[in-house]
Amino acid sequence: MNRKMVGFMFLLWVASLVSVSCTHKPYHPTKSDREWTIDHEACEVWVREGIRDEPDTYDTFDEMRLIRKCMKDKGWQWERTEWFKPRKEQAQ
């Protein structure tokens, strides 16, 4: 493949990741945003310890999926950010 084409595809991939990641934010009904970091670090440690036993059978996407599942098990949910929520029409 042409070097410029590879660079363009990489840039397109990065741009799509950024746009998707900015459309949702985590929230918890009873925990603060600061506690998200604590829970996320605990989930990372838990997942990586599990993967360490069989590293050849897991890839980066499996790791992210398992971390997200762990966060959901701890009660974290994801909602759409204000930028991408449909606007409600105001009553006149």
Domain boundaries, the chain: 26-83
| 26 burial level (CB within 10 Å; 0-12, 13-18, 19+) | middle
Task: Give me the pLDDT at residue 52, please.
Answer: 80
Query: How does residue 73 score in pLDDT terms, banded at 50, 70 and 90?
Result: very high
Task: Give me the pLDDT at residue 51, please.
Answer: 82
Task: Give me the pLDDT at residue 37, please.
Answer: 87
Give per-residue pLDDT as tens, 3-12.
Answer: 888 888 888 8
Give per-residue pLDDT as tens, 19-72.
Answer: 655 566 777 888 887 888 899 999 999 998 888 877 778 888 888 899 999 999
Beta strand residue intervals within the chain, DSSP E:
24-27, 77-80
